[in-house]
Amino acid sequence: MLKRLRTDFRLSIITLLGASALLGITPFAIMRFLQGNFVAGSIDTSILLSICGVMAYAWITGDTRRSGMVLAVIACSGAVAVAAVVGEVGLFWLYPCLVTAFFLVSPRIATFLNLVSIAAMTALGDVFQSDVQMWTFTATALVVSATAFAFAHRTDNQRERLEHLATIDPLTGVKNRRSMDEELNLAGAHAERSGLSYALVMLDIDHFKKVNDEYGHGVGDVVLVDLVTLIQQSTRKSDQLFRYGGEEFVLLLPGVDGAGLTAVMNNLQHIMRKKMRHPGGAISASFGVALLGPGESIESWLERADTALYEAKETGRDRVVFSDNMSAADADVSVGSPELAG
């Protein structure tokens, strides 16, 4: 439970808001019933129950996006309703609700909710003792909203930037190994649910060290970027390329097997041979290919592709080797040879 609170920011805000609502609104609900103000007491009770319901929904389903949205709407509309019933003292509740909305939904939606709530409050002219009080309230509420927006917008940008830094390889712009682990797990779960076939291609540039040694790291970097561009141009949009490390890449291909996979690999190798160049001439790559087997773990899948790549390197480079788990018939290659013509 504590781990979920630590790792899920929105869930922690929903829980904090729920706990604050329980502690902060309950005494007011009781007091209003005791004072005979049943309308205000009922509104407080409804807000309390709704917040508790949303909090329970968020914990059970993990859907904090929807829960956050509902909670932000409940908080803002609840504050307006309370002010409409109890008058001036109810105004103060809107301030925390305006700020909280920015923690629960996107800055744009929170701003919209803020403006609607402030406009609704201002429209309830009876709540205010004077015009000066009304405009003071409107101005201060707008200042609170604008400040909260600026803060939330900046935080969102920083979060996106951090996410980018943590998941994207800065040289080539493709996803890094960390993202790959997540995507492979998703692919495994999807394959189990839907039965869709997934192929994994591990590829490694041949004699890349020579390129670096002879022409410098700058030229090596250009070769890496060219390789990524070439693969992305030669594969489908749904295929995903990851930088596994150094000059090694992983290509995840959904929905291909058998003859289709053989054709994809033939095509890729053909294009690489034709177009991959460095100042000293052509550049080749070796490929290890594995199809995800039924019930197979991601680790075993990766290991089979890696073993196939190792075999491609050991048997001369510039070739494609299918993992031996893939039958020759599926791969549309001759029986007894797991590799395509090198």
Nearer to ligand GTP, 82 or 302 (CB): 302
Q: How far is the CB of 286 from ligand GTP (least distance, A)?
A: 7
Binding mask 120-159 for ligand GTP (x = CB under 6 A): ----------------------------------------
List 313, 328, 330, 342, residue binding ligand GTP (CB under 6 A) = 313
Q: How far is the CB of 172 from ligand GTP (least distance, A)?
A: 8
Asked if 174 touches ligand GTP (CB under 6 A), the answer is: no
- Residue 248 designated active-site: no
Indicate the SS3 state at residue 315.
coil
Indicate the SS3 state at residue 245.
strand
32: β partners: none
- The alpha helices in 87-216, defined as continuous H runs, are 94-104, 107-123, 131-167, 177-194, 208-215
Tell me which stretch binds ligand GTP (CB under 6 A): 75-83, 101-109, 157-165, 208-216. 208-216
Asked if 204 touches ligand GTP (CB under 6 A), the answer is: yes
Tell me which stretch binds ligand GTP (CB under 6 A): 81-89, 154-162, 218-226, 232-240. 218-226
Asked if 220 touches ligand GTP (CB under 6 A), the answer is: yes
DSSP class of 292:
P
List 154, 209, 236, 270, residue binding ligand GTP (CB under 6 A) = 209
What's the Cα-to-Cα distance from 67 to each of 11, 43, 74, 114, 123, rounded to whole Å?
Answer: 9, 20, 10, 18, 28
List 122, 138, 197, 212, residue binding ligand GTP (CB under 6 A) = 212
Longest dimension (CA), the chain: 92
Asked if 169 touches ligand GTP (CB under 6 A), the answer is: no
Indicate the SS3 state at residue 288.
strand
The residue number whose beta carbon is nearest to ligand GTP equals: 220
Asked if 217 touches ligand GTP (CB under 6 A), the answer is: yes
Smallest Cα–Cα separation from 75: which of 37, 55, 48, 56? 48
Nearer to ligand GTP, 44 or 204 (CB): 204
Do 199 and 322 meet the contact criterion of CB atoms below 8 Å apart?
no
Tell me which stretch binds ligand GTP (CB under 6 A): 96-104, 112-120, 136-144, 209-217. 209-217
Do 171 and 224 meet the contact criterion of CB atoms below 8 Å apart?
yes
Count the residues in the chain.
Answer: 342
Residues 16-55 that bind ligand GTP (CB under 6 A): none
| Phi, psi for residue 320 in degrees, rounded to 5 | -110, 130
Asked if 206 touches ligand GTP (CB under 6 A), the answer is: yes
Q: How far is the CB of 223 from ligand GTP (least distance, A)?
A: 7
Do 220 and 211 meet the contact criterion of CB atoms below 8 Å apart?
yes
List 171, 186, 263, 341, residue binding ligand GTP (CB under 6 A) = 171
Within 10 angstroms of residue 327's Cβ, the number of other Cβ atoms is 13
Q: How far is the CB of 309 from ligand GTP (least distance, A)?
A: 9
Nearer to ligand GTP, 207 or 277 (CB): 207
285-291 and 320-322 beta bridge pairing? parallel
User: Which residues 6+ apart lie within 8 Å of 320 measured at CB?
Assistant: 265, 266, 269, 286, 287, 289, 312, 339, 340, 342
Give me the catalytic one of 160, 183, 192, 247.
247
Residues that bind ligand GTP (CB under 6 A): 171, 204-209, 212, 217, 220-221, 224, 246-247, 313, 317
Give the catalytic positions in this structure.
247
